[in-house]
Amino acid sequence: MPVYKAPLRDMKFVAFEVFDVEKNWSASPDLQDVSRDLVEAILDESAKFAEQVLFPLNRSGDEEGCRVENGQVFTPAGFKEAFTQYAQGGWIGLGADPAYGGQGMPKTVTVMSDEILFAVNPSFALYPLLGIGAALAMSQHATPELCHRYLPKIYAGTWSGTMCLTEPHAGTDLGIIKTRAVAQADGSYEITGTKIFITGGEHDLAENIIHLVLAKLPDAPSGSKGISLFLVPKFLVNEDGSLGARNAVQVGSIEHKMGIKASATCVMNFDAARGWLVGEVNEGLAAMFVMMNYERLSMGIQGLGASEVAYQNAAAYARDRLQGRSARGAQEREKMADPLLVHADVRRMLLSVRAHNEAARCFTMYVAQALDQAKYASDPAERKAAADRVALFTPIAKAFLTDRGFTACVDAQQVFGGHGYIREWGMEQYVRDVRIAQIYEGTNGVQAQDLAGRKVVRNQGAFVHGYVEEVRVLLNSMKNEPGLDAFTLPLARALERLQEATTLLLQQAATDADATNAAAVDYLHLFGLTTYAHMWALMAKAAWPHQQEEAFYADKLRLGAYFMERLLPEVDQRLAAVRAGAAAIMSFPASYF
């Protein structure tokens, strides 16, 4: 049976020793009540609830899945009770605005609890996650009246939320959606259309479901500039906050998926359903992208959570499974064979997974810190710089962490050999479940295009130049520690590759319309590898003075050196692909395919 223990020691190292987040909390008037003792208590309780309540439901939820009966979706056994406990524990509102009943924890706290949640049960995680994202979009764009009416209920878990974008004919190209909104005399709108792939579109976990729906008014401009956002509740809400009549929104069916089977992915039909405008007319995408960007970081964390639980199981198996003898000769002569860990290739797979996990954990905290600075910093210039950094790293967090997370789960499964393909060990579910993270909330190819096109070419590399300068400051601060050359020299070389790739991207875009798209994925992976090297340098700097005190720190340095020597050289291959341009890709006629 699968096992999992939340990596609390590593989380605390990243938060308090690498980034010293407590210092940032104390500097913000909004975070004066956040302390290390409080956060450690939160993490301990999060781990306990996740390990004891949610983790046991992961496999049974996958086996049972969701079902539709008479227009009602039922989640697997145990999910409703677990959701109620989760809500009553205050977990849904952990990072939410206290004005609406939230606890106001910064993102540097919730990234850690989110990782635990995604590791133990990704299907369950999506139900509260979508409500939090919907509430975030509303809090920034809806009227105070709508916020006070809906947000406290969402944060309390009494109601939940969804994001309704995709239609049967319109996925990434939202400009061609057909869902229509017609204004009514009372200020509401009638929403008519069909949405697909709606996570948690219908379920039995909460009393009401609040749908955020993209639609177009009859006189809206064509394309994405004509999209508006509407709040459409499953049950209408009376003036006193009680539930009224059922709205004209129904589940058409649920999808039968490769993974996350305990998450109800629904086709939703809106038949002149009553809705209310969120934000301004024809500016729905701006409001929706508040939610989308939140979800994109969360998807990166989903990749990390999956690869962490996969690693823990693969490492446990490799310690116990006896297969063959060491190339150096028998290591455990009293046994019929040696454990798998004696084999260098098994160690290669495990170390590659763990090197990804620890760098990804550090990177999510790095992005979370920027999110907190963008929200809480008193200096407008500091907030703007942090917001720019978040914009740059959101597509990397989503795409790179999920691409590498999927690869990590496959490597962990490979450690099991044939048993990795057998259901009872749990590894095949991790591979199936994490695969979706590369697809939803904007496919990873789209994320790469966003990075290369919008975040680099459009501003002539300004965001990248700011990041490069930050890394150079770190390198300069480490130059007097010769023992850290194993980290600083490879990072400096990777930074040079990133700068060269950025220059190439800008040059190619000026003369070839296909060049940016052709280079995008390789550029994103080169950038992602460089950020991992950056994270490992930060962790090495924090661990170096303490390596004689505790094995934890010495092991951190050894694993970082493994990443630098064995995994980081991939930047050269990615740079070569960027340098090649689009010609080899675009030379084939359409008839070839």
Structural contact between residues 325 and 342, judged by C-beta atoms closer than 8 angstroms: yes
Rounded distance, CA 437 to CA 219, Å?
36
Q: How far is CA 65 from the centre of its chain?
A: 23
Among 4, 16, 1, CA closest to 305: 4
Q: How far is CA 175 from the centre of its chain?
A: 25
Structural contact between residues 434 and 122, judged by C-beta atoms closer than 8 angstroms: yes
Pairing mode, if any, of strands 159-164 and 208-215? parallel
Rounded distance, CA 507 to CA 195, Å?
40
Please tell me what DSSP assigns to residue 145.
H
The reply to whether 441 belongs to the active site is yes
Burial 235-272, CB ≥16 within 10 A → b, else e: bbbeeeeebeeebbbbbbebeebebbbbbbbbbbbbee
Among 481, 512, 482, 525, CA closest to 581: 512
Identify the sign of the CA torsion 91, 95, 100, 101.
positive
Rounded distance, CA 488 to CA 348, Å?
23
Tell me which of 308, 441, 496, 549 is the catalytic residue. Answer: 441
Instruction: List CB contacts of 496: < 8 A, sequence separation 6 or more.
Output: none
Q: What is the secondary structure of 341-373 as a DSSP string?
A: GGSHHHHHHHHHHHHHHHHHHHHHHHHHHHHHH
Tell me the one-letter amino acid at 256.
Answer: H
Rounded distance, CA 67 to CA 54, Å?
20
Percentages helix, strand, coil for the chain (3-state, rounded to 5) are 65, 10, 25
Q: Which class for 514: exposed (0-12), middle (13-18), buried (19 or more C-beta within 10 A)? A: middle
Residue 488 in tokens: 């600083």
Rounded distance, CA 134 to CA 400, Å?
24
Residue 340 CB coordination number (10 Å): 23
Mind telling me the catalytic residues? 441
